[in-house]
Amino acid sequence: MEKLIITAAICGAEVLKEHNPAVPYTVEECVREAKSAYEAGASIIHLHVRYDDGAPTQDKNRFKEIMDAIYKECPDVIIQPSTGGAVGMSNDERLQPTELNPEMATLDCGTLNFGGDEVFMNTENTIKYFGERMIERGIKPELEVFDKSMIDMALRLHKKGFIKTPMHFDFVMGVNGGISGELRDFVFLRGSIPSDATYTVAGVGRYEFPLAVAAIIDGGHVRVGFEDNVYLSKGVLAKSNGELVQKVVRLAREFGREIATPAEARKILGLKPKQ
């Protein structure tokens, strides 16, 4: 089996210090959290950025400042900026970090009812526009799917030339408005992607570690982090993103899965080696 790629989603756009005081907002806090995850075994940092007061932003200058600061401490890590941003942002606002030509970025493959009146909008034209931008700039998309229909959308848009193969999916499971994080749902999603595709699973809340184990056993990859879950175990807040990654590493070792370095992750995902 391939080595396990661990992605750490250190920050998110919605989770707050009220949920866990270690959620990072400032540059220094983002570096602290990225470093803790990297040192624990994460090879990819999925990155949202905030201003110091916690307000989410897609400002490319803020991304650059934080990415440069992370690279200083974690020189070979893969940074995967979000193009999802936060609910209500415009497409061009969301796409700003792609101007920095990151190796990867997220590409959200459908619209989601987050709850109340909140709708995370990704029309077909939005997905095409984002897909074209990533092809133009040589950015590998992590295809974020919150439901089975979003896999079907990605496959249709691949046929039309908006997404290249081999595809890399992220099954985000257990989000309000999306597919739940039950094992039967995981089996359904992982059976719905092409055989040459790779995937990561991001279980939200209580689904985080059970789905991590499912992916470890199945040969998939795992995302953990404060964006998805702030607890190390029931009722126990994680002190850092690193603690969440450490738990995945322990689980992986129990099942005989080795952890991929960033260089190995690049190879598995078909990214260029870092110079």
Geometric angle at alpha carbon 181, from 32 and 234, rounded to 5°: 55
Stretch that binds Zn ion, among 16-24, 66-74, 77-85, 177-185 (CB under 5 A): 77-85
Which of 31, 67, 86, 249 forms a contact with ligand KMH (CB under 6 A)?
86
3 state SS for 65-111: HHHHHHHHHCCCCEEEECCCCCCCCCHHHHHHHHHHCCCEEEEECCC
Binding letters toward ligand KMH, positions 111-140, x by CB under 6 A: ---------x--------------------
When asked if residue 7 is in the footprint of ligand KMH (CB under 6 A), the reply is no
When asked if residue 144 is in the footprint of ligand KMH (CB under 6 A), the reply is yes
Which of 36, 82, 198, 200 forms a contact with ligand KMH (CB under 6 A)?
82
Residue nearest to ligand KMH (CB): 84
Which of 106, 111, 240, 241 forms a contact with ligand KMH (CB under 6 A)?
106
DSSP 2-21: PPBPEEEE---SS--TTT-T
Q: What is d(CA 175, CA 205) in angstroms, rounded to the nearest whole number? A: 9
86 binds, among ligand KMH, Zn ion, none (CB under 5 to 8 A by kind): ligand KMH
Q: What is d(CA 273, CA 275) in angstroms, rounded to the nearest whole number? A: 6
Which of 36, 82, 200, 229 forms a contact with Zn ion (CB under 5 A)?
82
Residue 155 is encoded by which pair of tokens? Answer: 């496959």
